[in-house]
């Protein structure tokens, strides 16, 4: 397993890097965390031959502005986008003409799954809980390949971040 930080800048790109995106390369899946401009570099690190999951923490543009580059990818096992309740409507508002190629016209299959807060088997186990941010934002805890990886971005200190991170 490998974790690659594709973008770590908040708000906007700078000489130090792109806006937010990270990649977990697991045995059977590639898992992308957020879709800031860093997501455009994902194909440097993955074969695109495994199922790809994209978890969106929230819809601030520095976490979603890279969605317009999805059309460049060739995810041969498809892309499963996961996020909090309301993700489907927010995606439909953002990833559409005339701004970019809509998800139903990219050259691979895309599914969108809205996750209630709590634990889900996706087939790997993921727990999502709300964080502290001006807009609804979810943190994620992944249990996969015998490891625990927690992704809590854009939050103040809160009990949920601690719950998600325990033992990670
Ligand atoms: Zn934010």
Task: Give the tens place of pLDDT for each residue, 100-156.
Answer: 999 999 999 999 999 999 999 999 999 999 999 999 999 999 999 999 999 999 999
Tell me how far the alpha carbon of residue 49 lies from the centroid of ligand 1, in angstroms: 31
Residues having C-beta closer than 5 Å to ion ligand 1: 60, 154
Radius of gyration of the chain (CA): 15
- Read off the pLDDT of residues 38-85 as tens digits, 9 standing for 90 and up: 999 999 999 999 999 999 999 999 999 999 999 999 999 999 999 999
Per CATH, the number for 2-165 is 3.60.15.10
* 103, burial (CB in 10 Å: exposed 0-12, middle 13-18, buried 19+): buried
Q: Domain locations in the chain?
A: 2-165
Tell me how far the alpha carbon of residue 32 lies from the centroid of ligand 1, in angstroms: 17
Quick check: 163 and 131 in contact, CB under 8 A?
A: no
């Amino acid at each position: 397993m490998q974790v690659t930080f594709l973008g770590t800048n908040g708000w906007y790109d700078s000489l130090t890097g792109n806006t937010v995106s990270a990649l977990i390369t697991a045995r059977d899946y590639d898992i992308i965390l957020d879709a800031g401009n860093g997501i455009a570099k994902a194909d440097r690190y993955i074969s695109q031959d495994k199922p790809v999951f994209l978890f969106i923490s929230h819809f601030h543009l520095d976490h979603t502005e890279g969605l317009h580059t999805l059309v460049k990818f060739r995810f041969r096992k498809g892309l499963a986008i996961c996020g909090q309740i309301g993700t489907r409507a927010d995606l439909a508002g953002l990833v559409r003409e005339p701004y970019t190629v809509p998800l139903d016209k990219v050259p691979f299959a895309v599914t969108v799954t809205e996750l209630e807060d709590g634990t889900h088997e996706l087939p790997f186990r993921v727990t999502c809980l709300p964080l502290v941010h001006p807009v609804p934002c979810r943190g994620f805890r992944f249990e996969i390949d015998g490891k625990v990886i927690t992704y809590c971005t854009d939050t103040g200190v809160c009990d949920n971040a601690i719950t998600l991170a325990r033992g990670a």
